[in-house]
Amino acid sequence: MLRRAEIELKSPGEVDAMREAGRVVARCLDAVRAAAVPGTSLKELDDVAHAVMQDHGAVPAFLDYHPHFAPSPFPGVICASVNDAVVHAIPGPYRLADGDLLSIDCGAFLDGWCGDAAFSAVVGDAPYPADLDLIATTERALHAGIAAAVPGGKLGDIGAAISAVAREPGYGMLADHGGHGIGRAMHMAPHVPNEGRAGRGLRLRPGLVIAIEPMLHAGGGDDYVHDDDGWTLRTADGSRAAHAEHTIAITDDGPRVLTLA
Ligand code: MG
Ligand code: MG
């Protein structure tokens, strides 16, 4: 169970500082989106994001991150997950091809505050219209989750809103993966599940800052597999996946998205 003592609330000034960190992340993602054309390698996209961070005096949040489940520190600035890779893929030498479904996740620290956001897009021409539907639904699920992040609501409202959008067309979501509290660390309490029951769980209060991040895939199941690198998470059925994420603050005026340019 979640204990309130574990949940950190930020002051309005701290939320403003997190907005600046989020802005850098958004600019990184914009630059990566523009560079993600056929022939570009995932490592080159990583370099693009790193350069934007350095321009802003920001520090990569993912680079050398070493959580308990991983066999080695993460070697990239972004996660670059292609097609059936859902999240956490290492940006290596793979070169993008027309029609790849690319998911980019990026985190950065600015003045000690962390921002975390992700998007998915189809590279070049799109031979698979189903991918565009998957991406659009993932973004709708994200925004439904954000809309539920209001003072007086419950944490379960967010997951319920996300899963209602995701499950209606029959998409799957990874079990055990979801969003998180965020602040001076990237991953903080509470865990923010992508499924939930409305009206249940932690009460949402102004000053709570969380990353909301639905990960949907076309296959409909909840299973996934790890690559041998210990990081990359793929759908067990080989179906394509999309990921969308924003860092948001719950304020007296409703949800405030921090990871916008
Ligand atoms: Mg992320
Ligand atoms: Mg996150």
Cα 46 to ligand 1 centre (Å): 14
Q: Residue 3: is its pLDDT beyond 80?
A: no
pTM: 0.96
CA distance 113 to 8: 13
In 159-204, the DSSP E strands lie at 172-173, 178-181, 188-193
What digits encode the pLDDT tens for the residues 203-218?
999 999 999 999 999 9
Whether the ω angle into residue 190 lies within 30 degrees of 0, i.e. cis, is: yes
Q: Which ligand is nearest to the CA of 244?
A: 1
Cα 3 to ligand 1 centre (Å): 24
> What does the pLDDT read at residue 63?
97
Cα 116 to ligand 2 centre (Å): 5
What digits encode the pLDDT tens for the residues 48-104?
999 999 999 999 999 999 998 899 999 999 999 999 999 999 999 999 999 999 999
- 4-257 folds as Creatine Amidinohydrolase (3.90.230)
| H-helix segments, the chain | 12-35, 42-55, 129-147, 155-167
Q: Residue 166: is its pLDDT beyond 70?
A: yes
Cα 180 to ligand 1 centre (Å): 9
> What does the pLDDT read at residue 1?
46
Q: What angle do CA 133, 195, 20 make, to 5 degrees?
A: 75
CA distance 77 to 45: 9
CA distance 45 to 40: 7
- What's the mean pLDDT when you consider all of the chain? 95
Cα 103 to ligand 2 centre (Å): 13
Q: Which residues contact 194 (CB under 8 A, 6 or more apart)?
A: 141, 145, 159, 162, 163, 166, 173, 177, 178, 179, 213, 214, 215
Residue 126 tokens read as: 């799109």
Cα 210 to ligand 1 centre (Å): 11
What is the maximum span of the chain, computed from C-alpha positions, in angstroms? 50
> Cβ-count burial of 75 within 10 angstroms (0-12 exposed, 13-18 middle, 19+ buried)?
middle
What digits encode the pLDDT tens for the residues 230-253?
999 999 999 999 999 999 999 999
What digits encode the pLDDT tens for the residues 109-164?
999 999 999 999 999 987 789 999 999 999 999 999 999 999 999 999 999 999 99
Cα 182 to ligand 2 centre (Å): 8
Q: Which ligand is nearest to the CA of 186?
A: 2
What digits encode the pLDDT tens for the residues 24-57?
999 999 999 999 999 999 999 999 999 999 999 9
Cα 218 to ligand 2 centre (Å): 21
Q: Residue 4: is its pLDDT beyond 80?
A: no
Q: Which residues pair with 78 in a beta bridge?
A: 106
> What does the pLDDT read at residue 5?
55
Cα 11 to ligand 1 centre (Å): 23
